[in-house]
Structure 1
Amino acid sequence: MSYTNKQVCIPPELPELLKQFTKAAIRTQPQDLIQWAAEYFGAVCRGETPPGREWSEPVASSNCAELTPELLKALHSRVGGRLIIHVSELAQMWKVLRLPIDMFNSVMAVGHFTEEIEWLKFLTLACSSLGVTISKTLKVVCEVLSSDHDCGPARIPFSTFQFLYKYIAEVDGEISASHVSRMLAYIEQEVIGPDGLIKVNDFTQNPRVRLE
């Protein structure tokens, strides 16, 4: 089929969109242009500020954002449900949110992560910098992972909670495996309802649940 006699209609917003994309790409000089372009237009679709030079350059510590549950939730959203993520991609996302590079390196060291990172483990260690105690850390993790948008308490699948509690207790090194097993057995038998979900209040307000 020939298109020589058909008039091509250029969307009015296309020239400006391509202009802004080109300027951002020139400023940023990304190593992987295709991947960077996907992130750029993904941000545009989500209504977020498209990336500029800060996506490819280290952020000065004085310009870093303070780590918050909201920023960790934004980071979790960028990971997009994947269980494994490559260190270079995660580092790029971390820089996009202007989070402290030294904290990223610290989490990498504590978790002994290499090229392929188990996302939930990384997230849990990042949350530990906000939670201090194991109970508070798991509270932050639940708030980050919860997909509930109402005003109720954050909640996640109990199976996920089990995985996270066992991992953070192992990293902590001061809680016996038998104590962890007893707590999980009690929660599963006495606390968890038929929906299989655990709420923050189930382990922060119940006096019989002592995670530490």
Structure 2
Amino acid sequence: MPQTEKQMTIPPELPEILKQYTKSAIKTQPSDLIEWSTRYFTALTKGEPLPIKERPERITLSNWAVLTPQFLKELHTKLGGRLTIETNELLDMWKAQGLPEDLFTSIIKVGCLPDEIEWLKFLALACSSLGVTIAKTLKIATEILSSCHENGSARIPFSTFQFLYTFLADVDGEVSGTQVNRMLTYLQQEVIGPDGLIKVSDFMNNPKVRLE
């Protein structure tokens, strides 16, 4: 009688492990992904510090163009105010600027973005590959989205900031909902003026604001 094959069991924590692995790969951008992945999972198994490093604001991959806030600003302008875009269309626009396709794919995976992409979510994750921390990511995103400046400080509607911050904190997984709500409530009640706009200086230079 043939031996029954043993059914494979997928650990329930696997999706979260893969999500954190992908985020770490985006932050580190290793030159040798296979070698780095081996070190990553070995360290994870042994409970040792993971081989993750912060990178400078620019990203260079292979012979691809360098990802910069300016590239993302150009993409945002080309979208002309559209809130959503098909994945294939955005990928074509991304590659037309010579940007790395691997990074595009990683952004989609980290955000679990569907075929119909919410542009602000994609932009937030693309900015996170430049800013690393949530605060720096929001600074870059605000400067890209801002259509006006006050005393040299970029400004966006607080509702947009709220959406970006909530989304980034959720993807990060290390910032509690309580912390997010506390910061948003403080900003809305104590910082935001009657124009409903938030400036970079409101959350980057305010000692009472801790977004991480």
Residue by residue, what CA displacement relative to the aligned partner does 1:173-210 show, whole Å, maximum 9, x if unpaired? 00110110000000000000011000000000000000
Shift of 1:62: 3.7
Q: Does 1:192 align with 2:192?
A: yes
TM-score (norm 2): 0.69
Shift of 1:114: 2.5
Distance (whole Å) between structure 1 residues aligned to residue 109 and residue 202 of structure 2: 31
Report if the CA contact (8 A) 1:84-1:119 is conserved.
yes
- For residue 85 of structure 2, give the secondary structure of its aligned residue in structure 1: strand
Letter matched to residue 197 of structure 1: L
Report if the CA contact (8 A) 1:63-1:98 is conserved.
no
Distance (whole Å) between structure 2 residues aligned to residue 172 and residue 181 of structure 1: 15
- 2:121 aligned partner: 121
Q: How many residues align?
A: 152
Report if the CA contact (8 A) 2:149-2:155 is conserved.
no
Letter matched to residue 102 of structure 1: D
Residue by residue, what CA displacement relative to the aligned partner does 1:39-98 show, whole Å, maximum 9, x if unpaired? xxxxxxxxxxxxxxxxxxxxxx64311111111000111111111100111001101111
Shift of 1:115: 1.3
Distance (whole Å) between structure 2 residues aligned to residue 151 and residue 191 of structure 1: 16
Identity among equivalent positions (%) equals 64
Letter matched to residue 158 of structure 2: F
- 1:132 aligned partner: 132
Distance (whole Å) between structure 2 residues aligned to residue 68 and residue 117 of structure 1: 21
Change (3 A) 1:70 1:151: farther
Q: Does 1:161 align with 2:168?
A: no
Please list every run of 5 or more consecutive structure 1 residues that lacks an aligned counterpart in the other structure.
Answer: 1-60
- 1:100 aligned partner: 100
Distance (whole Å) between structure 1 residues aligned to residue 92 and residue 149 of structure 2: 28
Report if the CA contact (8 A) 1:130-1:137 is conserved.
yes
Report if the CA contact (8 A) 2:64-2:99 is conserved.
yes
Please list every run of 5 or more consecutive structure 2 residues that lacks an aligned counterpart in the other structure.
Answer: 1-60
- 1:76 aligned partner: 76
Distance (whole Å) between structure 1 residues aligned to residue 65 and residue 150 of structure 2: 27
Shift of 1:125: 0.2
- For residue 93 of structure 1, give the secondary structure of its aligned residue in structure 2: helix
Change (3 A) 1:167 1:92: same
Distance (whole Å) between structure 2 residues aligned to residue 149 and residue 188 of structure 1: 19
Structure with the greater alpha carbon radius of gyration: 1
Q: Does 1:143 align with 2:143?
A: yes
Distance (whole Å) between structure 1 residues aligned to residue 149 and residue 156 of structure 2: 13
